[in-house]
Amino acid sequence: MVKHVHLLFVVLVAVSFAARVLAAQLKPELLQRPVLKIAPHALASLLLLSGIVLVFQGGWLHGNFGWIVAKLLALPIFIGLGMLAIRREGQQRWLAFFGAILVFLYIGGVAIGKDAFFIL
């Protein structure tokens, strides 16, 4: 059950991020609405909370948990690139956006394979 809730938040965070970048490009004034300022943080917090619950529920701290550390280290990179994608303009926006998407996919790949170096 928690896994499905976590996956739902993963999808909502990804869609929310893409929608906010698109809004920043096409209608930046939309990003000033209170719901669009608060909702992404609430979704990200719920995603993180459900991830923490999954770690303890799955007992994943008792074995090789380097993959969890890799996800936690990649998370601030995703957040930073996401902030750049929303705040910058032009080519910088899109480079940051695609960088953030790559980091997001890396985090997902690590989660699926339970291996921080799955791409090697």
User: What predicted TM-score, i.e. pTM, was given to this entire model?
Assistant: 0.90
Q: What are phi and psi of 47, to 5 degrees?
A: -60, -45
Q: Tens of pLDDT along the chain (120 residues)?
A: 999 999 999 999 999 999 999 999 999 999 999 999 999 999 999 999 999 999 999 888 887 889 999 999 999 999 999 999 999 999 999 999 999 999 999 999 999 999 999 887
Q: Where are the domains of the chain?
A: 2-113
Contact 85, 96 (CB under 8 A): yes
